[in-house]
Amino acid sequence: MYITVYIIEQGAVLSKKDGKMIVTKAKEIIGEFPLKKIERINLLGNITLTTQMINYCLDNKIEVIFMTQHGRYRGKLYTDEYRNVILRLKQYERASDEKFRLRIAKSIVRGKLKNYYEYLSQKAKRLPKGTLSEERAGLRVTIEKVEKAKTVNEVMGFEGIGSKIYFSGFKKCLKSDEFEFKGRTSHPPKDEINAMLSLGYYFLYTEMLLALNSVGLDPYLGNLHTIDVSKQSLLFDLVEEFRCIIIDNFVLKLVNLKTVTKEDFEKKENDIYYFSKDGIKKYISAYEEMMSQKLIYHLDGEENYIRTIFEKQARHYARVVLGEEDEYIPYNYILE
C-alpha cells in the first residue's frame, strides 16, 4: 500500500539514497522511507529537497505539497498533469452562463446544508431530547430558502446563515470540558477547536485540489464562490459538501474521545492557537487513519477510499460541465 509522508521537522533535508528517502537535520538521520511506497509528500514549513530527490519525484510523479508550518497550502511540485482542453473550454463557457452557475451553486449549498442537517440529526439521537431542535429547524427553513434564491449572491447568503446555525449545534455536540468553542473563527483560529477545524480544512483543500488536477479541471473556474484572479473558486465550491462529513466529524471524535488534550496546543500572540509539535503529529496520525477508511460512494454504491471519492466527485462534476449528466449531486454519506 502506498503512503503519504508528512515532514514537520523545521530545517529538515530530504535526499535520495539506496532506494530510500532519507530525512536529515544537522547532518543526522531522523527518518527513512522506502521510495517505492511513497505516493505523496506533504512538507509543513521550512523543509529542503535535494536536486536528486526533486528529480526522482518528478520522474515518478510523486506529489510534493508545500504548506506553511501550520498546514496552509502554498503550492506543489509540478509534474505533467492530465490536461483536458475540451473540458476546460467548456468550463470557460459555463463560467459566463448565469443559469448554469445558479443551478450548480444551489446544488452545492443545498447539499452542504442537508449534510449539516443529517449530521445534527444523527448526533441528536445521543443528546437530551430537543437539544438540537432549534438548529435542525433553522437548517430546514434555510434549505427551503436556497431553493427559491434568484441569484448566486443570495445562495451565498443562505450558505452563511446555514453555517452559523450549524456551528451553534456543533458546539452542543462537544462533550469535553477542557476546550471552549464560542463559534467558528478561521483566520486566525482563536481556540483549540478552531485550530483543529482549520488544519483539517487546509488538508481537505489539498485533497480536493489534487482530485481536480487529476481530472483536468481548472480549479479557478467555479460557480458558488466569486471568480477572480487569485481565488480557486471551484476548489472552494467542491470542498463544501465534505467539510461536515469528513473534517467536522473527525474533529468531534478527537475531542469527545479525548484523543487530543490542551497540552497538544500552543497559544501565540493575540490569542492565536496552533498545534504543538507533538500535537500535530498526533493529529496527522489520526487524520491518515481516518482517510484510510472506505465509504460508500453515493452515485454507484461502490465502497471506495475517501481520496478516491474526492476524485470520483470531481469526475462527476466534469461530466455535468460537459453536459453528459444533467444534475450535480453532492456527496451525502455521513461518516460514523
CATH of the domain at 62: 3.100.10.20
For position 224, what pLDDT does the model report? 87
Q: Is residue 328 part of a domain?
A: no
Domain-embedded: residue 327: no
Reported as type and span, the H/E element at residue 203 is helix 192-215
**pLDDT over 60 at 203, yes or no:** yes
Average pLDDT over residues 130-135: 96
Q: Each residue of 210-266: pLDDT tens digit? A: 999 999 999 998 898 876 655 789 999 999 999 999 999 999 999 999 999 999 998
Q: Nearest-CA neighbor of 214 among 328, 74, 87? A: 87
Residues 225 and 124 both lie in one domain = yes
Domain of residue 92, CATH code? 1.20.120.920
pLDDT (tens digit, 9 = 90+) per residue, 83-125? 788 999 999 999 889 999 999 999 999 999 999 999 999 999 9
Average pLDDT value for the chain: 92
Q: Tell me: do 59 and 90 sit in the same domain.
A: no
pLDDT tops 70 at residue 80: no
**Same domain assignment for residues 67 and 147:** no
Q: Which of 36, 53, 76 is the last residue of a domain?
A: 76
Residues 242 and 145 in one domain: yes
**Are 154 and 178 contained in the same domain?**
yes
Same domain, yes or no: 65 and 131: no
For the stretch 178-191, pLDDT in tens is 888 888 887 788 89
Give the Cα separation of 49 and 52 in Å (integer). 8
For position 180, what pLDDT does the model report? 86
Does residue 141 surpass a pLDDT of 90? yes
Q: Which domain holds residue 148?
A: 85-322
Quick check: 155 pLDDT over 70? yes
Residue 297 confidence class, pLDDT cut points 50, 70, 90: very high
Sheet holding 63-67, edge to edge: 3-7, 38-44, 63-67, 73-76
Q: How far apart are CA 170 and CA 244, in angstroms?
A: 10
